[in-house]
A and B are shown apart, each in its own frame.
Chain A
Amino acid sequence: MNWPLYVTPAHIVRLYDRFEALDKEKTGHLRPQDFGAINRLAMNPIGDRIIGAFFSPGQETVDFHSFVRILAHFRPADKKHPKDPSMPEPVNSRTSKLKFAFQLYDQDKDGKISRAELLQVLRSMLEMQVTEEQLESIADRTIQEADLDKDDAISFEEFRKSLEKVNIDHKMSIRFLR
């Protein structure tokens, strides 16, 4: 199998164990219900979105390859290997990580985070303490800060630009995938 993912064999073994543990019915695929069985995920405000990210649009199951592929986004970026322009963008590069984060917001996949989509995320994260008006204000303010072409939505480029000071590699990496 072709693994241009910079995931080591040790990782693959560990992840396969986990995959099998989640796949209770031994079908070789994971369905949303299998993810739902993870209790702690239910307490996560964006848990559902993360689960959704594993499934490509239109697909109802996740096979092991896709499972690993998504998780490989969270590998710390490899500084040792120089960027090879002929190879496709590695999955754990800064751009790929940002794309992953972007699609969490952009549920309708139109390439833009609209105000409504941002509101949804905010609502889930800020829970009960904040009133609807305040949420809307926060969403407006956020869009204002990031929206450079004034179309009242955040495109991927604007998203990337607003986070240029954040150390994405640090923020979106899991230690055990080193």
Chain B
Amino acid sequence: MPALWRSTFVLVMVLLAISRPSLASEDTGNGTENTITTLPIVIWKWEEIHFPYLVALWVLVSWLCKLVFQLNPCLTRVIPESGLLICIGWVLGGIIYGADKVQTFRLQPFTFFFYLLPQIVLDAGYSMPNKLFFGNLGAILVYAVIGTCWNAATLGLALWGCWLGGAMGNIDTGLLQLLLFGSLIAAVDPVAVIAVFEEVHVNEVLYILVFGESLLNDGVTVVLFNVFDAFVSLGGAQIDAVEIIKGIISFFVVAVGGSLVGVVFALLISLLTRCTKNIQIIEPGFIFVLGYLSYLTAEMLSLSAILSCTFCGVCCQKYINANMDERSVSTVRSTMKVFANGSETIIFVFLGISAIDPSIWVWNTAFILLTLLFIFVFRFIGVFLLTWILNQYRLVPLDFIDQLVMGYGGLRGAVAYGLVLLLDENKYKEKKLMISTTLIVVYFTVMLQGITMKPLVTWLKVKRAAVSERTLAEKIQNRTFDHMLVAIEDISGQIGDNYMRDKWNNFEEKWLYWLLMTPIARKSCDPIFNIFHKLNIKDATSYVKEGERRGSLAFVRNESKADVDFNKKFGADFSEMMPYIMTENMGPDHVPVSSILRDSVPSVCLDMHEQDLKMRESEDFDAHHLLQQHLYKGRKQHRHRYSRKHLEVNKDEHEVQEIFQRTMRSRLESFKSAKMGVAPPKKISKHLKKDQPQKMPNGKSADNSKSHAYGDEDLEFSEGDSASGCEAAGGSFPMRAYRGAGIVNPAFMAEMDTMDPMPPMQQIPSWLAEAEVDSSNMVPSQRAQLTLPWTPSNLRRLAPLCLSTHSNDSFLLADSPATQEGISELPPPPPPQDGQGQGTHK
């Protein structure tokens, strides 16, 4: 933390250092006509680039401020980010003022309204939850229009009353000016509301009401501002009924006109994205450009620019999200957030900096305090009044707690400050007083109300937003409810808003989709399908992540095949296994992964599964199955039964040890018998095949039955392991010992020796040969063949098959009594071996 303070300080110093020459050089900016006497290698070009340089530097500094206080998380929990940014703005302003003795940087209204505000509004519109917004549009409009008018009127009149009463002393103002001041400070600010409410997470209805109001009240604010400004210019005498009527008409024109401009641009954007399939690289850019143009066009026509931008975003979001490629959509979303959040940061920092300027401060205690008081009181009164009226008509009435929060959430912000800066000083002698008051109001609401909002919400036990995502069941049920309500309304013969909504949906589907959406998008825009798709992608991603954590993706692919195969092949037999697999095969989110794979893997893979099945059926599936079943039982089971975190390594090692010991025993025995001319492996295999049915249930570990189901995956998984080579030599080698043979069941190794003479062995070679030939064809077991066992018993048989380099070595090693690693692992010569064999016999 100290390090970052230091670096910020250094940055600010640099800023100052640069800004000083900029001030000084402004006069001499054109003095570059000096004759040069020699070729300059490097020139100091400050004059030419100082403007963009300063802009970029200020943006950087503002954004770095965000970084500064993120270091101390407890700070951000108490004070909202916007408040902290203002504080840092004060500090920076203080430094600059201290250095320059004049405030060189401040928030200019033009910069604010044309470069900083549009992206915030566009982002607000684009990410607006439409269904919620339009469902509560009536309430939002009531608060926005009537509420703001009420706030403006009462504040203006109250201040005027106090001024007449002499409470404010001698200020040069009048009723109209105070009404104007009231109108610009009455509006709830979208920037501040976003900044504060974002961290509080109240329930969505409450949020949408406050937020929607803050956006839509711009229509009223602009009208009131212009009307009163014009009235002030006209003078009090000229105002008569005509002017007032014109004022009212202008409200409708401005508000509705602004919205229409926004809708027109939304249509343009949607149509455009319909055709931009081949220029996807620049597709996201169109949204921003056209959104900004909607703002500017409305501003040009003196209509409400914020309304235009908002409705542009609101109306086009559905169509462009459907038309554009997923990557473009996520690009648009992320970029919008960057711009909006970045602008918000800059605005708040500059709000802080602008305050450190003695030239703007005129202090009139009464004026300021009265303003604060009236804003607060009239906001609450207005909210309660309007809510009482609305609750007569609302389906779900707003309760008292929500109303309190709504009243308290009437934050004022930068828009008011921007508007007050636009005032003409000649007409408004008290402009400085108004600026000071506005700043104080903004600081009060953003910081004080911002800080206390969260505790208030917790204390009042306001219903909070549901954090989790909608499940598929919920989505389907919502749809059902919608249809249900429409049906009930039809039956009961009432025209309700469900009826209207249904009509709108039909109209939209019939005409708008055809006009504004690409044919492909039209097919796949069903919300249930979309959420299903999203859930599948989420599962697939988590599955891949899980697979990557385990080592390699090769196993993932195979496992999927294996899972589905089993389901198809064994279905009922292993239905009791399948839930086991499904519940155990958990991704990190505890979503049954295997079944989801079936969903997320489109029909293409199903063909592969079919092919695989056929391949297996053509070969001796039982043989393969036998191989799989007895191989890697121990390891695989553990992987499946326990989550990755709980993999009990000890047990694994124990198994490994057992296998290792048995391998040693068997190897030495076959060594022995090889010398004697008998081929014990053959015996073993045949014996094993016969015994397999009865041996299966009681494998060497208690969960043979489970391993049966896991058979396929066993093989694949272990292959994955050995292919990725992540096992130590010691671990993998005993596995390999059993791979190609498939014959050696470690559990029964010891018993082999004591078995009676074997039945005729004619079948065995063929079976084995079959198995080997089969395995060379089969995808999984081919991998098994890659690393060959190197027990001496298998030496002769498997010689002609392809060998992996790894086992080649061990192959040779085992063959020759050379002194290499293989031999070192071999137990000492025969005499102790028997004893050892007995000793380790289980």
Q: In chain A between 37 and 77, which residues have their CB closer than 8 angstroms to a CB of chain B?
A: 38, 40-41, 44-47, 50, 71, 74, 76
B476 and A129 contacting across the interface, CB-CB below 8 Å: no
B477 and A163 contacting across the interface, CB-CB below 8 Å: yes
- Mask of A150-165 contacts with B, CB within 8 angstroms, 1/0: 1000000000001101
B395 and A172 contacting across the interface, CB-CB below 8 Å: no
Query: Closest CB of chain B to A10's CB: distance in Å?
Result: 13
A138 and B483 contacting across the interface, CB-CB below 8 Å: no
Query: Closest CB of chain B to A65's CB: distance in Å?
Result: 15
- Please measure, in the bound complex, the distance between the C-alpha atom of A139 and the C-alpha atom of B469, giving whole angstroms: 18
Query: Closest CB of chain B to A64's CB: distance in Å?
Result: 13
Contact of A166 among B472, B478, B596 (CB under 8 A): B478
**Does A81 make an interface contact (CB < 8 A)?**
no
Query: Closest CB of chain A to B28's CB: distance in Å?
Result: 68
Contact of A174 among B492, B529, B535 (CB under 8 A): B492
Please, which residues of chain A bring their CB within 8 A of the CB of B492? Answer: 15, 18, 71, 174, 176
- Please measure, in the bound complex, the distance between the C-alpha atom of A104 and the C-alpha atom of B481, giving whole angstroms: 11
A-B residue pairs, 6 tightest by C-beta: A137-B599, A50-B487, A18-B493, A171-B481, A162-B473, A40-B490
- Please measure, in the bound complex, the distance between the C-alpha atom of A137 and the C-alpha atom of B492, giving whole angstroms: 36
Q: In chain A between 134 and 155, which residues have their CB closer than 8 angstroms to a CB of chain B?
A: 134, 137-138, 140-142, 144-146, 150
**Does A5 make an interface contact (CB < 8 A)?**
no
Please, which residues of chain B bring their CB within 8 A of the CB of A35? Answer: 491
A74 and B529 contacting across the interface, CB-CB below 8 Å: no
- Please measure, in the bound complex, the distance between the C-alpha atom of A162 and the C-alpha atom of B474, giving whole angstroms: 7
B487 and A174 contacting across the interface, CB-CB below 8 Å: no
A-B contact count (CB 8 A): 129
**Does A23 make an interface contact (CB < 8 A)?**
no
Given A125-B483, A137-B532, A50-B599 contact (CB < 8 Å): no
- Please measure, in the bound complex, the distance between the C-alpha atom of A176 and the C-alpha atom of B485, giving whole angstroms: 12
- Please measure, in the bound complex, the distance between the C-alpha atom of A138 and the C-alpha atom of B490, giving whole angstroms: 29
Contact of A138 among B472, B524, B595 (CB under 8 A): B472
Contact of B480 among A18, A22, A47, A101 (CB under 8 A): A101
Please, which residues of chain A bring their CB within 8 A of the CB of B493? Answer: 18, 21
- Please measure, in the bound complex, the distance between the C-alpha atom of A139 and the C-alpha atom of B296, giving whole angstroms: 48
The residue on B at minimum CB distance from A42 is: B490
Please, which residues of chain B bring their CB within 8 A of the CB of A15? Answer: 492
Please, which residues of chain B bring their CB within 8 A of the CB of A22? Answer: 491
Contact of B476 among A18, A125, A170 (CB under 8 A): A125
Please, which residues of chain A bring their CB within 8 A of the CB of B486? Answer: 40, 44
**Does B141 make an interface contact (CB < 8 A)?**
no
A166 and B526 contacting across the interface, CB-CB below 8 Å: no
Given A126-B528, A150-B579, A175-B497, A165-B481 contact (CB < 8 Å): no
28 contacting pairs across A/B (C-beta < 8 A):
A35-B491, A38-B490, A40-B490, A41-B490, A44-B486, A46-B484, A46-B487, A74-B488, A76-B396, A125-B476, A129-B526, A130-B526, A134-B532, A137-B598, A138-B529, A140-B598, A141-B596, A142-B476, A145-B471, A145-B472, A162-B471, A162-B474, A166-B474, A170-B395, A170-B396, A176-B492, A176-B494, A178-B395
- Mask of B584-606 contacts with A, CB within 8 angstroms, 1/0: 00000000100110110001000
- Please measure, in the bound complex, the distance between the C-alpha atom of A141 and the C-alpha atom of B523, giving whole angstroms: 21
**Does B479 make an interface contact (CB < 8 A)?**
yes
B484 and A101 contacting across the interface, CB-CB below 8 Å: yes
Given A140-B595, A172-B485, A129-B523 contact (CB < 8 Å): yes
Query: Closest CB of chain B to A88's CB: distance in Å?
Result: 22
Hey, which bits of chain B sit against chain A, CB under 8 A? 393, 395-396, 466, 468, 471-474, 476-481, 483-494, 496-498, 523-524, 526, 528-529, 532, 535, 579, 592, 595-596, 598-599, 603
The residue on A at minimum CB distance from B485 is: A174
B491 and A76 contacting across the interface, CB-CB below 8 Å: no
**Does A169 make an interface contact (CB < 8 A)?**
yes
B473 and A145 contacting across the interface, CB-CB below 8 Å: yes
Please, which residues of chain B bring their CB within 8 A of the CB of A166? Answer: 474, 477-478
Given A15-B492, A35-B491, A173-B395, A129-B481 contact (CB < 8 Å): no
Task: Give chain A's interface residue range (CB within 8 Å of chain B).
Answer: 35 or more
B474 and A140 contacting across the interface, CB-CB below 8 Å: no
B474 and A163 contacting across the interface, CB-CB below 8 Å: yes
Please, which residues of chain A bring their CB within 8 A of the CB of B494? Answer: 174, 176
B472 and A126 contacting across the interface, CB-CB below 8 Å: no
- Please measure, in the bound complex, the distance between the C-alpha atom of A129 and the C-alpha atom of B484, giving whole angstroms: 21
- Please measure, in the bound complex, the distance between the C-alpha atom of A18 and the C-alpha atom of B488, giving whole angstroms: 12
- Please measure, in the bound complex, the distance between the C-alpha atom of A103 and the C-alpha atom of B506, giving whole angstroms: 27
- Please measure, in the bound complex, the distance between the C-alpha atom of A145 and the C-alpha atom of B528, giving whole angstroms: 15
- Please measure, in the bound complex, the distance between the C-alpha atom of A165 and the C-alpha atom of B491, giving whole angstroms: 28
Please, which residues of chain B bring their CB within 8 A of the CB of A142? Answer: 472-473, 476
Query: Closest CB of chain B to A19's CB: distance in Å?
Result: 9
B483 and A44 contacting across the interface, CB-CB below 8 Å: yes
A165 and B474 contacting across the interface, CB-CB below 8 Å: yes
Please, which residues of chain A bring their CB within 8 A of the CB of B529? Answer: 126, 129-130, 134, 138
Please, which residues of chain B bring their CB within 8 A of the CB of A150? Answer: 579
Contact of B524 among A40, A47, A129 (CB under 8 A): A129
- Please measure, in the bound complex, the distance between the C-alpha atom of A40 and the C-alpha atom of B493, giving whole angstroms: 11
The residue on A at minimum CB distance from B582 is: A144
**Does A110 make an interface contact (CB < 8 A)?**
no
- Please measure, in the bound complex, the distance between the C-alpha atom of A154 and the C-alpha atom of B230, giving whole angstroms: 66
Given A50-B484, A101-B481, A174-B496, A141-B532 contact (CB < 8 Å): yes
The residue on A at minimum CB distance from B471 is: A145
Please, which residues of chain A bring their CB within 8 A of the CB of B483? Answer: 44-47, 125
Please, which residues of chain B bring their CB within 8 A of the CB of A46? Answer: 480, 483-484, 487
The residue on A at minimum CB distance from B499 is: A40
Please, which residues of chain A bring their CB within 8 A of the CB of B476? Answer: 121-122, 125, 142
Query: Closest CB of chain B to A104's CB: distance in Å?
Result: 7
Q: In chain A between 81 and 131, which residues have their CB closer than 8 angstroms to a CB of chain B?
A: 101, 104, 121-122, 125-126, 129-130
A171 and B478 contacting across the interface, CB-CB below 8 Å: yes
**Does A25 make an interface contact (CB < 8 A)?**
no
Please, which residues of chain B bring their CB within 8 A of the CB of A137? Answer: 532, 598-599
- Please measure, in the bound complex, the distance between the C-alpha atom of A56 and the C-alpha atom of B571, giving whole angstroms: 39
Looking at B474, B484, B524, B535, which has the most chain A CB atoms within 10 Å of its CB?
A: B484
The residue on B at minimum CB distance from A68 is: B492
Contact of A146 among B468, B473, B484 (CB under 8 A): B473
A44 and B473 contacting across the interface, CB-CB below 8 Å: no
B491 and A175 contacting across the interface, CB-CB below 8 Å: no
Query: Closest CB of chain A to B574's CB: distance in Å?
Result: 15
Please, which residues of chain A bring their CB within 8 A of the CB of B535? Answer: 141
- Please measure, in the bound complex, the distance between the C-alpha atom of A129 and the C-alpha atom of B476, giving whole angstroms: 16
- Please measure, in the bound complex, the distance between the C-alpha atom of A171 and the C-alpha atom of B482, giving whole angstroms: 8
Please, which residues of chain B bring their CB within 8 A of the CB of A50? Answer: 484, 487-488, 491
Looking at B473, B479, B494, which has the most chain A CB atoms within 10 Å of its CB?
A: B473
- Please measure, in the bound complex, the distance between the C-alpha atom of A141 and the C-alpha atom of B484, giving whole angstroms: 23
Contact of A121 among B395, B480, B498, B603 (CB under 8 A): B480
The residue on A at minimum CB distance from B396 is: A170
The residue on B at minimum CB distance from A141 is: B472
Please, which residues of chain A bring their CB within 8 A of the CB of B496? Answer: 174-176
Query: Closest CB of chain A to B310's CB: distance in Å?
Result: 25
A165 and B468 contacting across the interface, CB-CB below 8 Å: yes
- Please measure, in the bound complex, the distance between the C-alpha atom of A128 and the C-alpha atom of B225, giving whole angstroms: 53
Query: Closest CB of chain B to A131's CB: distance in Å?
Result: 9
19 extra interchain contacts, Cβ-Cβ under 8 A, other than A129-B529, A140-B598, A173-B396? A40-B486, A41-B490, A44-B483, A46-B484, A46-B487, A47-B487, A104-B484, A125-B476, A125-B483, A130-B529, A137-B598, A144-B595, A165-B474, A166-B478, A172-B481, A174-B494, A174-B498, A175-B497, A176-B496
- Please measure, in the bound complex, the distance between the C-alpha atom of A45 and the C-alpha atom of B322, giving whole angstroms: 24
Query: Closest CB of chain A to B202's CB: distance in Å?
Result: 15
Looking at B393, B471, B476, B526, which has the most chain A CB atoms within 10 Å of its CB?
A: B476
Please, which residues of chain B bring their CB within 8 A of the CB of A129? Answer: 523-524, 526, 529
Please, which residues of chain A bring their CB within 8 A of the CB of B498? Answer: 174
Contact of B599 among A44, A76, A141, A146 (CB under 8 A): A141
